[in-house]
Amino acid sequence: LALCDDSDGGRWHFTVIHELGWLAYVAGDVAETRRRFQQVLELSQQLNDPFCSAQAHHCLGVILSTYDDDNEQAHDMYSIAAAEYKACGRMDLYSEVRFHVQQLSVRRGDLAMAQAGQEELNTLTAYFPMHVRAWYASAQTELCILMQRPGEALTHAAEALTRFRTMGNRNGECVV
């Protein structure tokens, strides 16, 4: 961090802290993830940058849904992030956050909302980064199982496995 110059108004510093937060998340360090993502939120407010704000709200949604099991608050954070990503023209990240929202519906057992989310996501698949395409195929599998459509579930499961393996995961497990 000491090497970061502020010639870009602090955006580089924001990016470094943001990435450190994701590294802590992947490493399973809950306290460090919270600390870094809280810094991300504070920096985004200082920068007054909609894209940074979207990233901060996305991070908070992850914390709330993963660590706190607070799906309502996570939904609120993801909704803010989605609107800001869309306003910034980042449909790749917008679609990723909408995927998270759809997954919250599945967790809550709200299959009607999950189905509506899946229909919206079907219109966004062209924007998905590779890891989201794999997650999405996996999520479609789960939703089809819950909706008692086993034939469709098998098709999506095969797609998910293929995509995960394409990313280098031999056992079909995603580590992204």
Q: Are 61 and 97 spatial neighbours (Cβ–Cβ below 8 Å)?
A: yes
Query: Which of the four pLDDT bands, split at 50, 70 and 90, describes residue 100?
Result: confident
Reported pTM: 0.73
CA angle at 81 for the pair 176 and 146, rounded to the nearest 5°: 60
Determine the average pLDDT of the residues in 135-156: 81
DSSP alpha helices (H): ranges in the chain? 11-27, 30-47, 50-66, 71-87, 91-108, 111-122, 130-146, 150-166
Query: Which of the four pLDDT bands, split at 50, 70 and 90, describes residue 76?
Result: very high
